Structure 1
Amino acid sequence: MLTDFIRYLEAERRYSPLTVRNYRRDIEGFLRWLGYDDPDRVDVKEITTEQVRDWILYRTDTARLNAASMNREVSSLRALFRWLLRTGAVEHDIMRPIRSLKRPQHLPAFIPESRMSGIVRECETESEQFLTERDTLIVLLFYTCGVRLAELAGIDRDDFSADCTSLRVRGKGDKQRIVPVLACVREKILHYLRLIERQNICNSTEKALFLTWKGRRCSHSTIYRIVRRELLRNGVQGKASPHVLRHTFATHLMNGGADLREIQELLGHSSLKATQVYTHNSIARLRETYRKAHPREKGGK
């Protein structure tokens, strides 16, 4: 049984040798736990869903596997029993009722408001240098509009409204949304556009907002490096990326009392569930305030 399944993974699914080795190891480990010495001489019809559940409990308890590692082992069994069902070796897929373990959700990293205020003040300072204005405007738009990296790279100059008070963003699945542009950012945009014209940066038909010195659209990697450099230069610790600025945008809105559905619309999330992660940041902030302020937490009796 196992030999045929491994041959199927190699020949039909064309899995890498490392992946095939992992599948074999996971399945052999499960079968040994069931008491089978020869994995090719197993009556697979006798294996039950409850045995799989017991095995998961055993592995997570004795081997201290985290959810990701356990889910990978379960995935190997899931692939095996789908193949057994397809080949007629079993009549029911015993893995169907087995759910993957929930992985702990890591809170998105964000920049504290006190630190971000200083970064914004520096970015708002006008310069006559094209590259300086471009780089600081990139940081400002990530933080004040909450756009994704690909969305910002795809912005054209005609995506702004006539008075530059709103921006049309093309999101995932080519879905479009309108986000407001703050007055201070609007002035920055207008100044940047004047620099493009004055310094003849764009002599071609390129309509991109963010351009290289040669007048070409900035690539994703170029924008990423600009953001990372600007954030590190301003003393940001830990992650320094466009996505951190997007998370910072959403977290600061949540902390300021914005409605969750409004934040969902601004971020371009198709599901409210994706936006709800920012409520955890708010709760964590409240816990920290509580810990510092409440007399019981400060050691009072």
Structure 2
Amino acid sequence: MDNLIDEFLGYLISVKNYSYNTLLSYSFDLKDFGDFCEKRGHKKLEDVIVVKEYLEELKKRGYNPFTIARKLSSLKSFFKFLELEKGINTQIFLFLESPKLPIRLPKVLSLEEIEKLLSVPDLNTPLGYRDRTMLEVLYATGLRVSELVNLKLENFNLELGLVKVLGKGSKERLIPLGDYALNFLKNYLENIRPKFLSSKSKNFVFLNIRGGALTRQRFWQIIKGYAKKCGLEDKVTPHVIRHSFATHLLQGGADLRALQMMLGHSSLATTQIYTHLDYKKLKEIYDKFHPRA
């Protein structure tokens, strides 16, 4: 099983060009399934009974439907690979249904809460100015944190106010920068970033105190620290800021297709989750003001 998983992960790297985080997710899911098969003494991995027992085991462990659906998706991709490369029949998945998933609306911050968060970093210190710039760019572009911390100087066209991002599946997209983010970025690059430069810096835009690139884990800690200071500790994560970017654009009248391009979603269906938030707001307005609501 371990060898088959290694072959599959190698395929995802060399052929599919999947990101490191996606590979970790696949690796974790498949190892969990392999451990389950080993404990139960299952030898025929493609047996439909084996997979059904595994899904039942996940329910007993208390996993929510979203996690179970993700693990099932990982198994489907794995067995499809085995069918292509090893000739193993994967018809078992014709008999398996993914769990029905409720619509899970993303958490978002109000504009007032965004302003509150942005006001926390101390602009009189290099680290505070760097952090404010990162928050401004994050909210202005809706980038994923991994995309933000991996930005390099060549990704920006400051004259046109654009940032070029290499997202999931190595897909490039261009995103406009608002005036606030652009002004902070220009000043950061000219006056703040040079204070962090070292031989480790290369062309990374956002640097730590040793001159290397910030990690996504460290930036998550930074955001949580600022969220705690302004009383938003339970509300703020980097992805919540991405959701807030999308929701505020849509509420302001942005086109759904344009939003899809800026977020880097491969499917419009993924972007449409934000329309549910808009409908929820409309329902609140209707209930509040209609005389027969």
More deviation, 257-266/169-178? 169-178
Report the counterpart of residue 282 of structure 1 in structure 2.
278
1:106 maps to 104
Report the CA distance between 1:295 and its aligned residue: 2.4
- Correspondence 1:1-301 to 2 at 5 A: 15-17=34-36, 20-21=39-40, 96=94, 98-120=96-118, 122=119, 127-163=123-159, 165-196=161-192, 199=195, 201-204=196-199, 206-236=202-232, 238-297=234-293
Q: Which amino acid aligns with 2:179?
A: A
TM-score using structure 1 length = 0.66
Counterpart amino acid of 2:102? P
**DSSP 3-state at the match of 1:96:** helix
Q: Is the 8 A contact 2:193 2:205 kept in 1?
A: no
Q: Which has the larger radius of gyration?
A: 1
CA contact (8 A) 1:107 1:281 kept: yes
**Deviation per CA, 1:184-233, whole angstroms, max 9, x where unpaired?**
2111111111233553x203252111101111110111111111222232
Q: Contact conserved, 1:144 with 1:181, CA < 8 A, in 2?
A: yes
Shift of residue 18 of structure 1?
A: 8.0
Tell me the TM-score normalized by structure 2.
0.68
Cα deviation 1:216-251 (Å, max 9, x = unaligned)? 110111111111222232222533211010000001
Cα deviation code 1:39-63 (max 9, x no counterpart): xxxxxxxxxxxxxxxxx9xxxxxxx
Question: CA distance change for structure 1 residues 255 and 27 in 2, over 3 Å: closer, same or farther?
Answer: same
- Work out the CA distance in 1 between the residues paired with 2:283 and 2:149: 37
Go from structure 1 to structure 2 and tell me whether the alpha carbon gap of 1:114 and 1:15 turns closer, same or farther (over 3 Å shift). Answer: same
Q: Which has the higher helix share?
A: 2
Query: Is the 2:151–2:165 contact (alpha carbons within 8 Å) kept by the matching residues of 1?
Result: yes
Change beyond 3 A, Cα 1:202–1:70: closer
Deviating 4+ runs (over 4 angstroms):
17-23, 65-72, 92-95
Amino-acid identity (%): 31
Q: Partners of 1:138 and 1:274 in 2: how far apart?
A: 25
Q: Is the 8 A contact 2:145 2:239 kept in 1?
A: yes
Query: Given that residues 128 and 195 in structure 1 are in contact (C-alpha distance below 8 angstroms), is that contact kept between their aligned partners in structure 2?
Result: no
Letter in 2 for 1:137: T
The root-mean-square deviation of aligned C-alpha atoms, in Å, is: 3.8
Over 3 Å counting, the alpha-carbon distance change for 1:209 and 1:94 in structure 2 is closer
Specify whether residues 27 and 68 from structure 1 end up closer, same or farther in structure 2 by C-alpha distance, changes over 3 A only: farther
Report the CA distance between 1:94 and its aligned residue.
7.9
Question: Which letter does structure 2 place at the counterpart of 1:106?
Answer: R
Q: 2: distance between equivalents of 1:156 and 1:138?
A: 13
Q: CA deviation at 1:130?
A: 0.8
